[in-house]
Structure 1
């Protein structure tokens, strides 16, 4: 592949909630430079806003810091930006912000979400989507109600779009990943104009949309002076932070899945065709090459571990003596389950009495792994293939014991990348978009280094099958897990 000089780098920028991260990465996956800068916002009840000017200030600082570590001979070959999914604002024709940024979890638009759902019911049903109050389309309707005088001259911008406009010197096309929650039809690859008309939204509000990985402009001289990125550097259309993390995991071939275990559990995979989920607990983004990226987010996860992080290695060692645990946990971080089943009323539980702190810790770790096993069974039930190793990322991947336990519960080989985050995913996407001679999976596999490969212990999966089935029974008994899903998981999980 034409990778250019060995010291060439691609820059990935992740605009998050609490800060911006930037990485400069070589074609071989070496992180040549990194930078970060904080972000602050305004929270009042359901309101959560941030200053778009603050986004750009933090992006410039993070990029400068990352490039300060890069030796002068290195050539920056491209840059891509990801941001939080569903964060949106209105800008003027020149790309300058007209409103504050409504963040991904701003909760002021439930009425607008219902209106958007009703206006496009047939379309959303065909696409397997349901408009939520946190989605950008609901927030756009809220902004339209609050700022009606702006509509004739305004343009929608997602969080990353604002940064791209500052990089290139003016508005550029948005990417289809960020546009998904604004109602973009990923199958037709078009805005649903009829739905917008029913909602009273003018066509002029909606920007041109391109696939992620498309070059949308170049870094301007003004942006170069602020960020340290060389003027003329290609700017590549990005993806949402969740999709960026998937790219950063290296799991981009059809049949591969990335399990992200942090505060909660997120499962993301790759399919050749879109997955239709009648329950609506999974939906798909579009990959840069046209494949599909289905995913779902559970409410179980490491957020239930209340011990001091410094004490976790000791608890892991104790937990290894309890396989399986004498207790059975359904470790919800908060009320309500979202995936692999929908149960807003679900609550976490612990059945049985642990024999001690090690046994209790074991029950929590194993409970998360059982839900992960159920989730993989669920995606197979929907027709998705699950081939090859599972990639583990997220904060929990730092626990060697938990990775081994999860591999045993799943009965699958596991790979743990050396670095796996959204900024790395954007560096991968920038390389794919500017090199033009390789598939996204090839580029990702060349740039994402594997830190560890974990093989399941022979016969260990069967040891955990009985408690796994007991959890299925209990979730079904409480009316949360549909009987047909439980039956499939018992047979194929």
Structure 2
């Protein structure tokens, strides 16, 4: 061990739960994971919340055993943004699930979303928030409407189930996970009158704390189950996108990162709260009280999985020059909002190679459009861009990102959200989040851009088509003109 303390991080994903143990210098001492499954049917996407706890226990037991069961000084957890359920607090069983977990992309709350859109809280408008159908607030209203037989039920997020089980008592929720449930990011409180008007009364809401605050201590029962240390602080975490941002080291203004996976998540840093008239961009409040603006695009490598079953390295190079806007389902959320958006392809596609490389180009160019959108809003986009997620494991994909974005690409040594949570757990004992990250994050792989950008012509065609379809406005189309933001 190179540091004095050991910190644990847990990442509750869609397909698995991952746990990491790392010391003060960022050396990873142990890892563990356990799979998750869910149910998808059209707009329905659910998981069994009890499986989250079982998988978290299994992942932590493996990680702590892998590390040799060292004393753990603290633990933090992240989860998928917008995943929500109803729970009740029973003696000896805090946050007992009463319903399935409605996952981040469950889109059944149509009527509730319309009601929220028609009567939003003024605090959301002031913070530049425009709740969307898949956000947790409409789903919370949907759950309360469909489960009236549980009068004592309260709302909980995915991470709340885990932190409540770790501490042995009902845990507060962090303002990062609560953002899409209607929390005011400026004040860090619930706008209670507005939520009650919409049908979500105060007694159905958990208390709010800031990311990095202490929720409690690991209980003896949880310590025995997980291998964590009894009495270790349980630290309030953030969403999975924010956890990946910490792992990426994107913590200072002007820096931006992408989580490139099934979908694409953009995260950045600003000193002041940015606003987006289109409602596509929204901001989390960071543990150091800065703003982390960003958005989650539906475009990403999910289309490759649907069409090809996953990465196919033998198809990566060559191709016809076609480009696909890579949506695997219906609708786009960022950098523009369009409920009827579907994937489309420009150019000739005559083979699997053509189709595959067209999707790869589209993933990169959708990311470029996201950067052009935030630059258009007046936010600085400076220097290298960091990329994490599944795509970051492929050097070819990262070279393509550098070529398409025309920026240096950095791939951090430890890009997992679980590692980001270990850094957050360590922050209070290591001089704050930025200081802890500088100490714990290792060197990054870098990929240099090409000038001029070889994908500029494909980008111009893609932007022109998006504008012709009315999916983006003339202002974004102009800002996205090759060279216009450099």
Quote how far apart the aligned CAs of 1:364 are: 3.3
CA contact (8 A) 2:73 2:233 kept: yes
Offset of 1:115 from its aligned partner?
2.2
In 2: Cα distance, 1:258 partner to 1:156 partner: 31
> In structure 2, what is the equivalent of residue 268 of structure 1?
267
Are positions 1:387 and 2:397 aligned together?
Answer: no
* 1:409-459: CA deviation from partner (whole Å, max 9, x where unpaired): 2221111112212111111111114x1x423223223323234111223x2
Deviation larger for 41-50 or 207-216: 41-50
Deviation at 1:39, TM superposition (A): 2.9
- SS of 2:184's partner is coil
Aligned mate of 1:75, from 71, 75, 93: 71
Classify the secondary structure of the residue corresponding to 1:259.
strand
My pick for the range that moved more, 287-296 or 325-334, is: 325-334
Partner residue, 1:66: 63
1:88 maps to what in 2?
84
Question: 1:9 — aligned with what?
Answer: 6
For residue 5 of structure 1, report the CA deviation from its aligned partner.
6.5
Distance 1:78 1:374 in 2: 39
For the residues of structure 1 that align with 2:364 and 2:439, how far apart are their CA atoms? 29
Measured in 2, the distance between the counterparts of 1:169 and 1:212 equals 20
SS at match of 2:445: strand
Unaligned runs of 5+ in 2: none
Distance (whole Å) between structure 2 residues aligned to residue 97 and residue 110 of structure 1: 27
User: 1:277–1:356: structure 2 CA closer, same or farther, 3 Å change rule?
Assistant: same
Aligned equivalents of 1:330, 1:96: Cα separation in 2:
41
* Structure 2 CA distance for aligned equivalents of residues 368 and 18 of structure 1: 21
Structure 1 unaligned blocks of 5 or more: none
Change (3 A) 1:357 1:99: closer
- 8 A Cα contact 2:346 2:462, kept in partner: no
The answer on 1:139 being equivalent to 2:130 is no
In structure 2, relative to structure 1, the CA distance for the partners of 1:406 and 1:276 (3 Å cut) is: same
Q: Could you tell me how far 1:269 is from its partner in structure 2?
A: 1.0
Moved more, 44-53 or 156-165: 44-53
Larger Rg computed on CA atoms: 1
Relative to structure 1, the CA distance from residue 120 to residue 403 in structure 2 (aligned partners, 3 Å threshold; closer, same or farther) is same
> Partner of 1:116 in structure 2?
116
Query: Alpha carbons of 1:363 and 1:258: their partners in 2 closer, same or farther (altered >3 Å)?
Result: same
TM-score, structure 1 as length reference: 0.89
> Corresponding residue for 2:282?
283
Residue deviations 1:374-398, cap 9 Å, x none? Answer: 2111101112111231101122212
Q: CA deviation at 1:354?
A: 5.5
Are residues 342 and 443 of structure 1, via their aligned partners in 2, closer, same or farther at CA, if it must alter by over 3 Å?
Answer: same
Which of 15, 20, 28 is the matching residue for 2:17?
Answer: 20
How big is each residue's C-alpha offset from its partner over 1:343-382, in whole Å with a ceiling of 9 and x where there is no partner? 3333333333368665554443333322222211110111
- 2:149, 2:471 → 1: CA distance? 46
TM-score (norm 2): 0.91
Q: Once the 2 structures are TM-superposed, how far is the Cα of residue 257 of structure 1 from its aligned partner?
A: 0.7
Q: CA separation of 1:275/1:355 partners in 2, compared to 1, >3 Å: closer, same or farther?
A: same
Q: Aligned partners of 1:22 and 1:377: how far apart in 2?
A: 35
Find the aligned partners of 2:467 and 2:324 in 1 and give their Cα distance: 15
Q: Secondary structure at the match of 2:288?
A: coil
Alignment correspondent of 1:475: 466
Aligned length: 478
Which residue of the partner structure matches residue 477 of structure 2? 486
SS in structure 2 of the partner of residue 164 of structure 1: helix
Distance, in Å, in 2 between the alignment partners of 1:48 and 1:347 is 20
Q: Which runs of 4+ in 1 moved over 6 A?
A: none
Q: In the alignment, is the contact (CA less than 8 A) between 1:420 and 1:448 conserved in 2?
A: no
Q: How many angstroms apart in 2 are the aligned matches of 1:277 and 1:87? A: 24
Root-mean-square deviation (Å) = 2.5
2:452 corresponding residue in structure 1: 460
Structure 1 position 448 matched with structure 2 position 444:
no
1:104-129 deviations in Å (ceiling 9; x for gaps): 23333222222233332534332322
Alignment of 1:59-458 (within 5 A): 59-72=56-69, 74-94=70-90, 95-97=94-96, 99-104=98-103, 105-148=105-148, 150-151=150-151, 153-305=152-304, 306-307=307-308, 311-312=312-313, 314-316=314-316, 318-319=317-318, 326-353=321-348, 361-433=356-428, 435=429, 437-457=430-450
Distance of 2:14 and 2:365 partners within structure 1:
30
| Counterparts of 1:96 and 1:365, CA distance in 2 | 42
8 Å Cα contact 1:46-1:108 kept in structure 2: yes
Contact 1:117 1:124 (8 Å CA) reproduced: no
**Range 329-338 or range 13-22, more displaced:** 329-338
Distance 1:37 1:169, change over 3 A: same
Give 3-state SS (helix, strand or coil) of 2:278's partner.
coil
